Structure 1
Amino acid sequence: MATDSETLPAEGKGQNETLVIAASSLGTVFEWYDFYLYGLLASAISMHFFAGVNETTGFILALMAFAAGFAIRPFGALVFGRVGDIVGRKNTFLVTMAIMGLSTFAVGFLPSYDTIGIAAPIILMLLRLLQGLAIGGEYGGAAVYIAEHAPPGKRGFYTSFIQTTAMIGLILASTFVVSLRLFMDADSFNAWGWRLPFIFSIVLLSIALWIRLQLEESPVFQRMKQAGATSKAPLKEAFGEWRNLKIVLIALFGAVAGQAVIGFAAHLYPLFYLEKIAKVDGATSNFLVATALLIIIPSFVFFGWLSDRIGRKPIMMTACVIAVFTYFPLYKALVAAANPAMAAAVEHAPVQVVADPRECSFQFDPIGKNSFDRTSCDIVKAYLARGGINYANIDAAPGTVATVRIGEESHTAPDPAKLKGEAKAQAIAAFQEEVHAGLSRAGYPAAADPAAVDKGRVIAILCVFGLLATMVYGPLAALLVELFPARIRYTSLSLPYHIGNGWIGGFMPTIGFAMVAATGNIYQGLWYAVVIAAITAVVGIFFLPETYKRDIEA
């Protein structure tokens, strides 16, 4: 617990607190800008770096490249958390910023798959891993740095400003991407315009480094170092002693895991959902998400401030419980608002796939060797998956040729066992045209009608998602700082935070869309967020201690 600071000398805090908040927060904004570009440009990245596979697989692989940066974050937390507890807070997050910014800048000049083949996605993945490694040390450093400057009773308020940085970074990146899409034709943007936000990041890196260089070391760390009270083995002390490891596990499953999925369900998952499921064009999707996030940013500070008065735990657990019961109806309302024609078609002319389940493959091919034309079921599902069509599965007798039902219509797929070569290709093309015509007659749109998108309703729904995220995220930094002793604080809080946000939350878009591809149900991926939020609510309510009145130097 945060009760081991009695060995520290009682010096005053010599640095302006406004500068601490502004410098730490602004620097982190730029890092999140870099990080979110991958998610915002997943379609372009899929096109340029994963061109050797089918479209559905390419998009999932692009999301996996995005998720790879999250996967490595806990290792960055271990590396840089240890450095931060031994060497200091300030120098550690200067190093993480430099690594992250340079790896992002390099993507802007990385040759595509068509130019250097398989080396392109490999290098992209390596750069993404470097970026994730760096951000693994960033959040913990910034959160600890601000909290250790905050006066008693204001830690939630002070650290809430850094909680806004992820949203501001996403808005900054979204604004840049939307502006390019508005002022460039689609061909130019897809060919080279998507690289500009990555190249521009070098400017932001220079500004962020200059800002961070104005800071001094944390006063808590300075006093620990003067007193010889810093940990010599923070990893062993944090994770090798049950009294500390127990708190790490409670922090992960009783706070961070729920925060992670609720956070991603508020910004990145809706963005992918609008584009790939509701079929809203990219520029509009980015605009709607960015507008909603801009509206809810002040609520981060509000809930941070409120947590200083009523506690961190009741606010965060309330958000988790609400999320469990509202995500399915809210996402259905989101589709209805963004693409009412699709929602109406799903309701009045549902699509069903009647097939032998043993002939149905999972619509994911990471090495690009499966064309999904070996069975009639694969032919059907590959076409529907590419179109983002919601469908239900009905098991048929062994050997049955797959059939698509669209409302009252039925369309039987060609049997590839009876066809070869050009005849097979022609039969598949004819079947796809037939299904396309049937979907059109049933009212399924190829894309959302821009005039029919109810932007007000979409933004309102996105704001609800955002408010839940601010409830659980606004008080989080203060909670994590207060849970752990100062000598191992950087290490202890960084690992659960980055396991939660790197693994549990970071893989939400990838796992969610893989679940959609596997089942055909466009809402199936929401179960991932709902189950994790429910686990956090249970663990948090029963095991997470309240921390808001703790003295982190007592």
Structure 2
Amino acid sequence: MAEQQDRRAIAAGGIGSVLEWYDFAVYAFLAPVLAAHFFPTGDQATSLIAAFGVFAGGYLMRPIGAVILGHIGDRISRRAALMVAVNLMAVSTGAIALLPTYATIGIAAPIALTILRLLQGLSVGGEYTGAVVLLGEAAPARHRALFCSVALASGFVGILIASGATTLVVDALSDQAFSDWGWRLLYAPAPLLGVVGYVLRRRLAEVDMHTRSALLPIVATVREHDRALLRIAGIASASAIGNYMVFIYGPTFLTNTVGLPRSTALAATTAGNAALIVTVIGSAWVADRIGRRPMILSGAIGLLVLSYPLFMLLASGMAGLAVVGLLAFAVLIGTISGCFAAVMLELFPHAVRYTGTSVAYGLTFGIVGGTTPLVAISLIDATGNSMSPVFYLMAAAAICVVTVLLTPETRNRPFDVPSTQENTGSRTATKRAAKSAIGG
């Protein structure tokens, strides 16, 4: 019975991440096409900046979604929050496939696209972290990082599917056909994935919610767990910027800046994402044995030292070297990301775990990660140097290294789980649990 519930938790946690990351990757891959259809300014760089500005706007909604869905997850049920998230994501994503362009309805087109992106960002605010909470609380302690890594690996599966599907459609259609209507085909799977996610999550067992904070979850999180929030932000910065600069903005960089064919850029990114999936799972497996800090620290130092030469490979204009660079980036970013989810959970007690992880992750990936493509394009446009974005990534890696050195190992620290016998609802008990979780 326990094994069956574990399988259900893994499937339910993974499907939402597949949908979430599929959508965000498709938007990034289609940015040049969407820029032409929804933001026709007459200047490619300006249109692209506008398109990625809307991309960033979706991420800026993550903190709001984190507060709303976190409240539902910590006060009502984990299952309810996850069902709301997957439904909202499926509907808003599917609607983009039917959206008229600027040529048809004028200024209403970019406004409608922006609204749908904001709704997607709202749902994402509690989607990935909710899946992580679900998986982490269902996991045996000795396999917590491995279970949590399923949510992220599923996300990379979503990117992999998006990359592969985009490559397939690009190869199957002429450039004109793809630009005119073919891009809409890539949004068609979203409603189906949403239905699958809803069915899987509806069948999940409810989690006992007796352990509640006396304060609102967001208030308790900010007042009592500020150090945990800062630690997560510091560690996540390298993963966020690295991920979105290399694997989300990467195809646009390889196509528009470097000059590789779109199909080649997408194929290279697909290979990198496949390597990310393997590295994330492998890193989590090792972290369950030797600890979280050694894995994150090694990946962050690697990014700090190797980002510049690896970015030179991407900018070389040679497809083979670009693949090598992407594979190396996959190993470094995956080493950090594989066990980071477990660290997030282990820094918060059960009473505010959904809200705490969602707000910390949402703020970092919303403000830092979601704006990364926009920052990268703006840096290149302002400096005329295609290598300028790499310094942004190196700065994030340095911050990650310092943060990890100041963060205690969390692998063997107390991890409270739902129980009908415990009641840590008071502010004092919540604070005591938090201090235990983060080392005082």
CA contact (8 A) 1:152 1:551 kept: no
- Please list the CA deviations of residues 417-475 of structure 1 after superposition, one character each: whole Å capped at 9, or x if unmatched: xxxxxxxxxxxxxxxxxxxxxxxxxxxxxxxxxxxx443x3222211101111111100
Alignment partner, residue 552 of structure 1 = 415
Q: Which amino acid is 2:204 matched to?
A: L
2:54 aligned with 1:57, yes or no? no
For residue 188 of structure 1, report the CA deviation from its aligned partner: 0.7
Alignment partner, residue 5 of structure 2 = 16
Q: Which amino acid is 2:241 matched to?
A: V
Alignment partner, residue 289 of structure 2 = 309
For residue 33 of structure 1, report the CA deviation from its aligned partner: 1.1
Cα distance in structure 2, aligned partners of 1:229 and 1:57: 48
Structure 1 unmatched runs, 5+: 1-11, 340-452
Which of residues 87, 104, 129 is equivalent to 2:93? 104
Which of residues 230, 235, 239 is equivalent to 1:249? 230
CA contact (8 A) 1:260 1:505 kept: yes
Greater radius of gyration (CA)? 1
For residue 43 of structure 1, report the CA deviation from its aligned partner: 0.8
Cα distance in structure 2, aligned partners of 1:469 and 1:278: 22
Cα distance in structure 2, aligned partners of 1:454 and 1:14: 44
Alignment partner, residue 435 of structure 2 = none
For residue 174 of structure 1, report the CA deviation from its aligned partner: 1.3
Which of residues 30, 34, 38 is equivalent to 1:41? 30
Residue aligned with 2:249, SS: helix
Residue aligned with 1:553, SS: coil
Alignment partner, residue 260 of structure 1 = 240
For residue 534 of structure 1, report the CA deviation from its aligned partner: 0.9
Alignment partner, residue 278 of structure 1 = 258
Residue aligned with 1:181, SS: helix
Q: Which amino acid is 1:478 matched to?
A: A
CA contact (8 A) 1:265 1:465 kept: no
CA contact (8 A) 2:75 2:212 kept: no
2:230 aligned with 1:238, yes or no? no
Question: What TM-score comes out, normalization by structure 2 length?
Answer: 0.91
Alignment partner, residue 396 of structure 1 = none
Q: Which amino acid is 1:252 matched to?
A: A
Which of residues 468, 476, 485 is equivalent to 2:349? 485
Structure 2 unmatched runs, 5+: 418-440
CA contact (8 A) 1:27 1:211 kept: no
Cα distance in structure 1, aligned partners of 2:389 and 2:80: 40
1:360-375 equivalence runs, <5 A = none
CA contact (8 A) 1:163 1:474 kept: yes
CA contact (8 A) 1:17 1:150 kept: yes
Cα distance in structure 2, aligned partners of 1:14 and 1:458: 42
CA contact (8 A) 2:13 2:151 kept: yes
Cα distance in structure 2, aligned partners of 1:230 and 1:145: 19
1:181-200 equivalence runs, <5 A = 181-200=170-189
Cα distance in structure 2, aligned partners of 1:157 and 1:240: 30
Change (3 A) 1:114 1:318: same
- Please list the CA deviations of residues 269-304 of structure 1 after superposition, one character each: whole Å capped at 9, or x if unmatched: 322221111111212111111122113412211110
Residue aligned with 1:262, SS: helix
CA contact (8 A) 2:283 2:339 kept: yes
Alignment partner, residue 63 of structure 2 = 74
Alignment partner, residue 370 of structure 2 = 506
Cα distance in structure 1, aligned partners of 2:248 and 2:264: 14
Change (3 A) 1:231 1:266: farther
For residue 184 of structure 1, report the CA deviation from its aligned partner: 0.8
Q: Which amino acid is 1:237 matched to?
A: A
CA contact (8 A) 2:14 2:155 kept: no
Alignment partner, residue 170 of structure 1 = 159
Residue aligned with 1:124, SS: helix
CA contact (8 A) 2:315 2:386 kept: no
Alignment length (residue pairs)? 417
Residue aligned with 1:265, SS: helix
CA contact (8 A) 1:266 1:469 kept: no
CA contact (8 A) 2:90 2:194 kept: yes
Alignment partner, residue 408 of structure 1 = none
Cα RMSD for the two superposed structures: 1.7
Residue aligned with 1:548, SS: coil
- Please list the CA deviations of residues 86-140 of structure 1 after superposition, one character each: whole Å capped at 9, or x if unmatched: 0111110110111111111111111111111111111111110000010001112
- Please list the CA deviations of residues 286-338 of structure 1 after superposition, one character each: whole Å capped at 9, or x if unmatched: 111112211341221111011111111121122111111211111112222xx
Alignment partner, residue 354 of structure 1 = none
Question: What TM-score comes out, normalization by structure 1 length?
Answer: 0.73
Alignment partner, residue 141 of structure 1 = 130
Q: Which amino acid is 2:83 matched to?
A: L
Residue aligned with 2:119, SS: helix
1:149-168 equivalence runs, <5 A = 149-168=138-157
For residue 53 of structure 1, report the CA deviation from its aligned partner: 4.2
Q: Which amino acid is 2:278 matched to?
A: P
Residue aligned with 2:356, SS: helix
Q: Which amino acid is 1:247 matched to?
A: A
Q: Which amino acid is 2:6 matched to?
A: E
Change (3 A) 1:200 1:163: closer
Which of residues 99, 102, 109 is equivalent to 1:113? 102
1:430-441 equivalence runs, <5 A = none
2:310 aligned with 1:321, yes or no? no
Residue aligned with 1:148, SS: helix
2:184 aligned with 1:203, yes or no? no
- Please list the CA deviations of residues 210-239 of structure 1 after superposition, one character each: whole Å capped at 9, or x if unmatched: 222222223xxx1x42xx645551111111
Q: Which amino acid is 1:486 matched to?
A: H
Residue aligned with 1:545, SS: coil
CA contact (8 A) 1:508 1:529 kept: no
